[in-house]
A and B are shown apart, each in its own frame.
Chain A
Amino acid sequence: DGGITQSPKYLFRKEGQNVTLSCEQNLNHDAMYWYRQDPGQGLRLIYYSQIVNDFQKGDIAEGYSVSREKKESFPLTVTSAQKNPTAFYLCASTTGDQPQHFGDGTRLSIL
Chain B
Amino acid sequence: AQTVTQSQPEMSVQEAETVTLSCTYDTSESNYYLFWYKQPPSRQMILVIRQEAYKQQNATENRFSVNFQKAAKSFSLKISDSQLGDTAMYFCAFRTGFQKLVFGTGTRLLVSP
Judge if A50 is at the interface, Cβ distance under 8 Å.
yes
Judge if A16 is at the interface, Cβ distance under 8 Å.
no
| Cα A44 to Cα B4 with chains together (Å) | 12
Q: Which of B44, B97, B106 contacts A42 (CB 8 A)?
A: B106
| Cα A36 to Cα B80 with chains together (Å) | 31
Chain A contact-residue range equals 20 to 34
Tell me what chain A mostly uses at the interface: helix, strand, loop, or mixed: strand
Decide: B91 and A42 in contact? CB cutoff 8 A.
yes
Q: Which of B50, B97, B103 contacts A99 (CB 8 A)?
A: B50
Residue on A nearest B108 in the bound complex, by CB:
A40
Residues of B within 8 A of A92 (CB): 45, 101
Q: What are 8 A-B interface contacts by the 8 Å CB criterion?
A: A33-B101, A40-B105, A43-B45, A58-B100, A88-B43, A94-B99, A97-B97, A100-B99
